[in-house]
Amino acid sequence: MSALSPQPAALTNAMTVDVEDYFQVAAFERCIAREDWPRWPVRVEANTRRILELFARQRIHATFFILGWVAERYPALVRDIGAAGHEIASHGFGHERLDNLSRAEFRAGITRTKQLLEDLGGTAVLGYRAPSWSIGPATLWAHEELSEAGYRYSSSVAPIHHDLYGMPAAPRFAFRAARSGLLEVPVTTVQMWGRNWPCGGGGFFRLLPYPVFRRGLRRVNRSDRRAGVFYFHPWEIDPQQPRVPGVTLKNRVRHYLNLARTAPRVERLLRDFRFDRMDRVFLDGHADYPVVELQATGSRVH
């Protein structure tokens, strides 16, 4: 591009928050039993309210994927998220990964959570995100269940190689699942050296130097000409959270690395890029997404 050529208009990316607490993450499953959750100090409400204040300062709106478990205990938080102009979406009820659920159990959880969030927020819940990006080769039936339950989109696929999740053969950008018609919006990746690399937030956002992450997202916006999807969790802005004993070294690094840097980095990200809610970025005025049939070994565009 020459010095006299106009710069492309800045794209609007989607800002998302997975509303769950530190003791509910997959990395601690072997150290904290589900029945012991009530014994741990709850910090998700205060941390989520800090995020609401951050977004208000930067004058942006986001999508909050909220656990039903959290919504039942903190209904005022859900109401305040909606009242502030943010999108209320579902993260399922109890943060169970889909490969640990039957279809019937999954259906019950997404239906229960959708109804709860709609009752509290007073608006239709259109979006869903699976815990731990757990829509993958063995759980593709989830798209059909979500469509039948009244959801319009999912953001639950990670097209990367990872030891806990991932479907690297899936498309990098939004598509409609062939069997259900449901819109799937994968978390953002950047393609380099013939491979997809994470560029959507979470632990990678804390691990990488900020300029490296920023360069990747700019490449997605400017070279791919696609909107990105960024996510983080309330516990990621909370360096004072209780330390969980018995956690492996790998999971300690994944969970605790650079917690003190997350909030300042997110604030910097909000200044460097444009962000809005998932529904506005991917649903409003968009009807031309490719139809893709996902398979255990790859995907096929129709």
* Nearest 10 degrees: Cα torsion 27, 13, 208, 57: -90
pTM, full prediction: 0.94
- Rounded-to-5 percentages of helix, strand, coil across the chain: 40, 15, 40
Half-sphere exposure of 140 (CA within 13 A, CB side): 18
Residues 12-301, CATH architecture: Alpha-Beta Barrel (3.20)
Question: Cα separation of 90 and 71, whole Å?
Answer: 10
Give yes or no for a contact between 289 and 176, defined as CB atoms under 8 angstroms apart: yes
* Calpha distance 134→125 (Å, rounded): 20
What are the phi and psi torsion angles at 170 (to 5°)?
Answer: -75, 155
Q: Write the CA distances from 189 to 38, 82, 89, 167, 198, integer angstroms.
A: 36, 29, 22, 12, 5
Cβ neighbors of 32 (< 8 A, separation 6 or more) are 23, 40, 244
Per-residue pLDDT of the chain (302 residues; tens, 9 = 90+): 444 444 456 899 999 999 999 999 988 988 999 999 999 999 999 999 999 999 999 999 999 999 999 999 999 999 999 999 999 999 999 999 999 999 999 999 999 999 999 999 999 999 999 999 999 999 999 999 999 999 999 999 999 766 566 688 889 999 999 999 999 999 999 998 888 888 999 988 998 999 999 999 999 999 999 999 999 999 999 999 999 999 999 899 889 999 999 999 999 999 999 999 999 999 987 768 999 998 876 566 65
Burial class (CB in 10 A: 0-12, 13-18, 19+), 212: exposed
Structure tokens at 163: 């030891």
Residue 76 sits at φ, ψ, to 5 deg, of -65, -30
